[in-house]
């Protein structure tokens, strides 16, 4: 059996960074913090509220998200939207992600011992 703590640690490392991609992808449609939290939760990418809210602010500071206070509702909410540079970044990250997935699949399908033997 896998130790639960070990599993959780490695999962966390694997997921780190995917939240950024998920946020940039989801906020192509403008949304606010809690809405994004719920959407991510539903799609299986659960994030802690105390991780997501500061992250959104950081992405905004880096110019990857545009934000404005929406005051039309009963109380003010900060609406986020992916900016042009956010979209560009997402593209780069996605191709990186796909390249990684491809490499991993290659390693898993070819006999790893053979791959090592082919090295000079």
What is the binding site for other proteins (CB under 8 A)?
A: 32-34, 38, 48-51, 53-55, 57-58, 69, 75-78
Beta carbon of residue 56, minimum distance to other proteins (angstroms, whole number): 8
69 vs 114, beta carbon nearer other proteins: 69
d(CA 56, CA 64): 9
Query: How far is residue 104 from each of residues 16, 21, 109, measured CA to CA in Å?
Result: 18, 19, 9
Beta carbon of residue 34, minimum distance to other proteins (angstroms, whole number): 3
Q: Cα 60 to chain center, whole Å?
A: 15
58 vs 87, beta carbon nearer other proteins: 58
Beta carbon of residue 19, minimum distance to other proteins (angstroms, whole number): 13
Structure-token pair, residue 34: 């809690």
């Amino acid at each position: 059996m896998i130790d639960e703590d070990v599993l959780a640690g490695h999962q966390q490392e694997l997921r780190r960074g995917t939240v950024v991609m998920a946020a940039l992808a989801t906020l192509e449609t403008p949304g606010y913090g809690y809405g994004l939290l719920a959407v991510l939760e539903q799609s299986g990418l659960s994030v802690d509220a105390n991780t997501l809210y500061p992250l959104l602010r950081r992405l905004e500071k880096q110019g990857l998200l545009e934000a404005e206070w929406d005051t039309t509702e009963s109380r003010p909410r900060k609406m986020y939207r992916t900016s042009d540079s956010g979209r560009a970044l997402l593209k780069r990250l996605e191709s990186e992600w796909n390249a990684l997935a491809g490499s991993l699949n290659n390693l898993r399908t070819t006999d790893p011992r053979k791959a090592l033997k082919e090295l000079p």
